């Protein structure tokens, strides 16, 4: 188990001798480490713009990006900051770091490769597992200390809802326990299936959990984190990503209950059948003069795995989605999603608005069925705008109000790898998202949708999106995520070359890959062995 740290020390000595070769010009310090971040104020809701130029960060985030009422475009000519995601189960009990030697070695590998920092997933269910009155941050603080010791930046992803995998509880037990008396606090499909990893957006402001609302509990989670990590904001923590739904993504859980959203490519189902959502639907229908429309969700919508044409609602021609009723329902459904994001980001702004961090949130990259006129998968997940307009526009407008960066988790998706039978169109979807963000001066950031193993075209796709794209270039990119596969011989050497090509650009002859690359590849194998042993 001590092999990994020893190899890292040897690799670090070799890396020091050639630090200038892996330095990204204008970003990294002379020792190859990321520079200390300059504090800057983030735009608050209701106006005001950040002076990024004066803060020394204009080259990262663009001038006037916080002034959402201006006509200034986001500056996307600067290089993207690069992060690598730490394992999803880095901390699982709040007290300790799992396989701390491997985590420390992975963090050091990130520095040696010349990236800006790492991303740490932080879960409400881990920090406050059993009591509404007590948080435990010791394990997460230990990881933050490791990152600070290496002089790297830290992106923190605060997850208020569940994330499948990693052996983590999806919600604190005392929150899930409240559902024993009231199961309708969870999203419910029309067959009665409940999503026990995500609270219904309709209960955001209702005292359904031990006399408190979910929104109050989310803000308490954010506030406790901010207090516990106060010393890290000026030196290490540069970005805070706020989870807005299951798996951290702003969307309805339109996939089957108990399944992994990241592997589902069906149309999905509407999630509006808990009693709280139905009550709001009935109220909205009465207010618009169509009381009968509020009795239920669409009766002619497809099931999770059915095609759009299997039922009438999403048919290409003459489907109910094009009718006045379809527009009524989809507009309300999407509005509930935007309203939830607005409330949670408002709570996050109340906590982090005066911190020197960049606020961000993640949207889904649902490229399947995007070629269909009705865009059914996006609509079932809550992305819709009347008159067949850009469904991401209402979300981008809401992000703009909070000075929030939009993270797009599909920078590696290539058209030639998708199933044409599902109407996949990742290129068109990315353009659609960029157009929405450009309109409202919202910065974008990127992640990969899945671990890239042997698909060099996927690495090329990421490189193109963060280096050569002329419009709306991401301000940062996070590669997801460390684990046994990440450090495997099939993946780690390719990732190392990809990252260096982004960090260093073209190599001089004297910097050609050599013995050091073999050493780093061996390091990856050692990490994989330790991960498998754990």
Does 75 map to a domain?
yes
Does 15 map to a domain?
no
Residue 428 is predicted with a pLDDT of 87
294 or 27: which carries more pLDDT confidence? 294
Does 115 map to a domain?
yes
Instruction: Read off the pLDDT of residues 381-416 as tens digits, 9 standing for 90 and up.
Output: 999 998 878 999 999 999 999 999 999 998 988 765
List the CATH number of the domain containing 415.
Answer: 3.20.20.80
Least confident of 225-234, 320-329, 347-356, 417-426: 417-426
Residue 290 is predicted with a pLDDT of 96
> Rounded distance, CA 99 to CA 534, Å?
7
Q: Mutual orientation of helices 3-17 and 100-113 as an angle, nearest 10°?
A: 10
Residue 427 is predicted with a pLDDT of 86
Least confident of 31-45, 388-402, 451-465, 479-493: 31-45
Does 308 map to a domain?
no
> Is it true that the peptide bond before 481 is cis, omega within 30 degrees of 0?
yes
Answer yes or no: are the C-beta atoms of 295 and 406 closer than 8 Å. no
Residue 261 is predicted with a pLDDT of 74
Residue 509 is predicted with a pLDDT of 36
Q: Mutual orientation of helices 275-287 and 324-352 as an angle, nearest 10°?
A: 120
Answer yes or no: are the C-beta atoms of 481 and 441 closer than 8 Å. no
Mean pLDDT of 36-64: 29
Mean pLDDT of 201-216: 97
Positive/negative CA dihedral, 475, 481, 487, 493: negative
Mean pLDDT of 146-165: 90
Does 298 map to a domain?
no
pLDDT band of 453, cuts 50, 70, 90: low
- Is residue 173 within a helix (H) or strand (E), and if so which, with residue range? helix 173-178
Does 327 map to a domain?
no
Name the domain count of the chain.
Answer: 1
Residue 409 is predicted with a pLDDT of 93
- Is residue 407 within a helix (H) or strand (E), and if so which, with residue range? strand 405-408
Tokens of 435: 């157009």
pLDDT band of 507, cuts 50, 70, 90: very low
Answer whether residue 265 shows pLDDT above 60: yes
Answer whether residue 211 shows pLDDT above 60: yes
> Rounded distance, CA 266 to CA 471, Å?
31
- Name every residue whose Cβ is closer than 8 Å to that of residue 127 and which is 6 or more positions away in sequence: 94, 135, 136, 137, 140, 221, 224, 225
Residue 35 is predicted with a pLDDT of 34
- Name every residue whose Cβ is closer than 8 Å to that of residue 318 and which is 6 or more positions away in sequence: 312
Answer whether residue 262 shows pLDDT above 50: yes
Does 52 map to a domain?
no
Does 295 map to a domain?
no
User: Which residues constitute the domain of residue 133?
Assistant: 3-7+57-272+333-533
Residue 367 is predicted with a pLDDT of 86
pTM summary value: 0.83
């Amino acid at each position: 188990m001590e092999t990994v740290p020893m190899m890292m020390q040897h690799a670090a000595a070799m890396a020091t001798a050639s630090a200038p070769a892996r330095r990204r010009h204008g970003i990294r310090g002379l020792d190859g480490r990321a520079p200390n971040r300059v504090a800057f104020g983030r735009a608050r809701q209701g106006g005001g713009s950040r002076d990024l130029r004066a803060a020394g960060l204009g080259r990262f985030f663009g001038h006037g990006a916080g002034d959402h009422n201006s006509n200034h475009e986001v500056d996307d000519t600067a290089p993207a900051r690069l992060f690598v995601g730490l394992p999803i189960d880095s901390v699982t009990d709040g007290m300790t770091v799992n396989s701390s030697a491997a985590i420390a070695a992975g963090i050091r590998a990130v520095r040696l490769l010349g990236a800006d920092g790492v991303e740490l997933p932080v879960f409400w269910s881990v920090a406050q597992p059993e009591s509404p009155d007590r948080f435990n941050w010791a394990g997460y603080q230990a990881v933050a200390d490791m990152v600070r010791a290496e002089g790297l930046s830290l992106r923190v992803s605060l997850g208020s809802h569940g994330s499948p995998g990693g052996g983590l509880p999806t919600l604190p037990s005392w929150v899930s326990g409240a559902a024993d008396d009231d199961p309708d606090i969870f999203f419910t499909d029309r067959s009665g299936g409940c999503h026990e990893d995500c609270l219904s957006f309709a209960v955001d402001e209702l005292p359904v959990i031990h006399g408190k609302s979910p929104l109050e509990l989310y803000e308490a989670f954010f506030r406790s984190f901010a207090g516990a990590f106060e010393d890290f904001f000026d030196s290490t923590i540069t970005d805070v990503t706020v989870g807005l739904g299951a798996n951290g993504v702003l969307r309805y859980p339109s996939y089957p209950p108990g399944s992994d959203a990241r592997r589902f490519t069906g149309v999905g189902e509407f999630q509006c059948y808990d009693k709280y959502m139905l009550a709001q639907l009935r109220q909205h229908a009465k207010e618009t003069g169509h009381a009968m429309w509020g009795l239920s969700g669409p009766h002619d919508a497809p099931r999770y795995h059915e095609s759009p044409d299997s039922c009438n609602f999403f048919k290409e021609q003459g489907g109910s989605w094009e009718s006045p009723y379809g527009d009524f329902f989809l507009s309300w459904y999407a509005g509930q999603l935007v309203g939830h994001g607005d409330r949670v980001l408002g709570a996050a702004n109340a906590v982090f608005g005066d911190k020197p961090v960049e606020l961000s949130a993640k949207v889904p990259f649902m490229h399947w069925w995007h070629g269909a006129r009705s865009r059914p998968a996006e609509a079932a997940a809550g992305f819709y705008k009347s008159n067949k307009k850009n469904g991401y526009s209402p979300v981008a407008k809401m992000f703009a109000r909070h000075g929030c960066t939009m993270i797009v988790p599909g920078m590696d998706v290539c058209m030639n790898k998708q199933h044409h039978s599902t109407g996949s169109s990742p290129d068109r979807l990315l353009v659609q998202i960029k157009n929405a963000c450009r309109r409202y001066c919202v910065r974008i950031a990127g992640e990969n949708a899945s671990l890239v193993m042997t698909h060099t075209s996927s690495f090329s796709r990421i490189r193109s999106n963060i280096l050569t794209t002329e419009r709306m270039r991401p301000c940062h990119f996070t590669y997801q995520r460390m684990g046994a596969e990440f450090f495997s011989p099939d993946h780690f050497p390719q990732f190392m070359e990809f990252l260096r090509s982004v960090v260093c650009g073209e190599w001089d002859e004297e910097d050609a890959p050599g013995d050091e690359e073999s050493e780093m590849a061996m390091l990856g194998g050692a990490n994989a062995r330790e991960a498998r042993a754990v």
